[in-house]
């Protein structure tokens, strides 16, 4: 992955190929040459309030002036307790318990461990298997990677990953062969039940999924009825439901919990990115009282955590971000303006034949590109179309999140746009226009 382009989701190395960041304010980021970028993806859907928010920065500075971190086995703290209360209230009844961590991968890893500990507490030590879906991404720790189906990111670690079961991707634009979009929910719900029966319910710990698939699929929402059906199957067979809301949760989709849209509550959820808006690293594995009561009765509490669990300054950042989001009605704003943003994108790109699908929820939009709209045939992966669009956007001062492989792990080009919750109508319009130019530029490059 060396020399990966700016604007690419694979951009994990090759710092020499990227500009050097200098500062940011609001929706804008500046590099050390003075060039300004509109951060239209919030990094990887992280910066829900944009950059340089003075209120958040002041809260962090004030906490650092007192103490940066009180170790969790020695102290609790006001920021941690207030943060937990804010998140529990936002989640709804039953979600008072959580393991605070430093990011999404740790949140997913903790969620998996909580599921295993729950079954152990019930004397069901054999329930060790996890079921996930194709084209899913759950994180970079070995446990989270084991339940992820992102070929490029998994490949170097194959052989060291625990075994998991993978079901069909749940994508109305690309349903399994022979399945109509209208029958997708029923088919995939039945597929989960069949896999549980094949393995044996006494061996399955949990089913983990993203309510709206992020990096691996390009903002793919679950179709109507899917989440409710999955919930019923999990309950029927004593399987825990884990919602990975690291990317799509904490307001990104227009509800605090992404699954609120579907009228479903999970047993455990992983949340991160929008919790502290990127001001400091913060994530959480949040688990329902029904899980907590079993674990506490047997073990006294969760047997997972890290040195920086409940990091005091990180919690202070989370409190400040969540207060602003609630006070300023930003989730309601995302819910109201999300459809308008999608409409802007559809209007801008309606004449571009290579745009196969525009999808998502709230301020979480995914654009998929195809070489043929009728057959939905993806572009040749060697063309690197998504990365070309990302580079073209960056040259024009727009940051977006490009990813490849959503079709079969190799082919399939998508770009995600995830602006801050407080983006103005004018900023959304500017994002749309620059992105449209970048799309046309990228397509022109691959056609020559």
Residue 389, C-beta contacts closer than 8 angstroms, at least 6 positions apart: 7, 369, 400, 402, 413, 415, 438, 439, 441, 442
C-alpha span between 43 and 144 (Å, rounded): 21
Q: What does the pLDDT average to over 199-207? A: 98
> CA angle, 218 as apex, 212 and 223 as ends, to 5°?
40
pLDDT, tens digit, 9 for 90 and up, residues 85-133: 999 999 999 999 999 999 999 999 999 999 999 999 999 999 999 999 9
Task: Spell 173-187 as b/e; 16+ CB within 10 A means b.
Answer: bbbbeeeeeeebbeb
203 vs 155: CA distance, rounded Å: 26
Partner residues linked to 38 by β-bridges: 28, 398
What average pLDDT does range 178-187 have in this prediction?
96
Say whether pLDDT at 48 is over 90. Answer: yes
Kindly report, residue by residue over 385-412, the tens digit of the pLDDT: 999 999 999 999 999 999 999 999 999 9
Q: So what's the pLDDT on residue 16?
A: 60
Q: Using pLDDT thresholds of 50, 70 and 90, give the confidence band for residue 9.
A: very low
Contact, 386 vs 402, CB < 8 A? yes
pLDDT at position 448 is 77
Q: What secondary structure does DSSP assign to 168-221, as a single string?
A: ----TTSPPTT--GGGHHHHHHHHHHHHHHHH-GGGEEEEEE-SEE-TTTTSEE
Give per-residue pLDDT as tens, 341-384. Answer: 999 999 999 999 999 999 999 999 999 999 999 999 999 999 99
Whole-angstrom distance, CA of residue 201 vs CA of residue 19: 51
Beta-bridged to residue 39, according to DSSP, are: 399
Ordered by where they begin, the domains of the chain are: 15-53+329-447 (3.90.1150.10), 67-327 (3.40.640.10)
Average pLDDT, the chain: 95
The phi and psi torsions of 28 (rounded to 5 degrees) equal -105, 145
pTM over 0.75? The answer is yes
């Amino acid at each position: 992955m060396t020399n990966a382009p700016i604007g690419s989701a694979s951009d994990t190395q090759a710092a020499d190929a990227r500009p050097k960041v200098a500062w940011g304010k609001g929706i804008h980021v500046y590099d050390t040459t003075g060039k300004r970028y509109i951060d239209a993806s919030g990094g990887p859907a992280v910066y829900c309030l944009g950059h340089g928010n003075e209120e958040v920065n002041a809260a962090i500075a004030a906490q650092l002036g007192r103490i940066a971190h009180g170790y969790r086995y020695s102290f609790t703290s006001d920021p941690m307790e207030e943060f937990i209360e804010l998140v529990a209230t936002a989640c709804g009844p039953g979600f008072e318990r959580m393991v605070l961590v430093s990011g999404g991968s740790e949140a997913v890893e903790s969620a998996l461990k909580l599921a295993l500990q729950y079954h152990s507490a019930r004397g069901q030590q054999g329930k060790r298997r996890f079921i996930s879906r194709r084209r899913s991404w759950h994180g970079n720790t070995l446990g989270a990677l084991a339940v992820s189906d992102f070929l490029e990111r998994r490949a170097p670690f194959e052989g060291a990953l625990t075994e998991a079961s993978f079901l069909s991707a749940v994508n109305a634009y690309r349903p399994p062969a022979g399945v109509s979009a209208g029958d997708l929910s029923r088919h995939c719900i039945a597929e989960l039940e069949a896999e549980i029966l094949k393995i044996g319910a006494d061996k399955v710990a949990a089913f983990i999924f993203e309510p709206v698939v992020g990096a691996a699929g390009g903002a793919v929402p679950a179709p109507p009825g899917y989440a409710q059906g999955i919930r019923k199957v999990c309950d029927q067979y004593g399987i825990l439901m884990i919602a990975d809301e690291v990317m799509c949760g904490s307001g990104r989709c227009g509800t605090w919990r992404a699954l609120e849209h579907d009228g479903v509550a999970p047993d455990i959820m992983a949340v991160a990115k929008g919790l502290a808006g990127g001001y400091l690293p913060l994530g959480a594995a949040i688990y329902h009282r029904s899980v907590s009561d079993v674990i506490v009765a047997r073990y006294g509490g969760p047997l997972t955590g890290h040195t920086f669990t409940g990091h005091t300054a990180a919690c202070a950042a989370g409190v400040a971000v969540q207060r602003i989001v609630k006070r300023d009605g930003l989730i309601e704003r995302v819910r109201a303006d999300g459809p308008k943003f999608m409409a802007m994108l559809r209007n801008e790109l309606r004449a571009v034949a290579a745009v196969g699908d525009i999808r998502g929820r709230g301020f979480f939009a995914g654009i998929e590109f195809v070489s043929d709209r009728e057959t939905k045939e993806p572009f040749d992966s060697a063309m690197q179309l998504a990365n070309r669009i990302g580079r073209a956007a960056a040259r024009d001062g727009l940051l977006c999140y490009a990813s490849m492989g959503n079709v079969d792990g190799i082919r399939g080009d998508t770009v995600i746009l995830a602006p801050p919750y407080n983006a103005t109508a004018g900023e959304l319009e500017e994002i749309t226009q620059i992105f449209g130019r970048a799309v046309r530029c990228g397509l022109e490059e691959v056609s020559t």
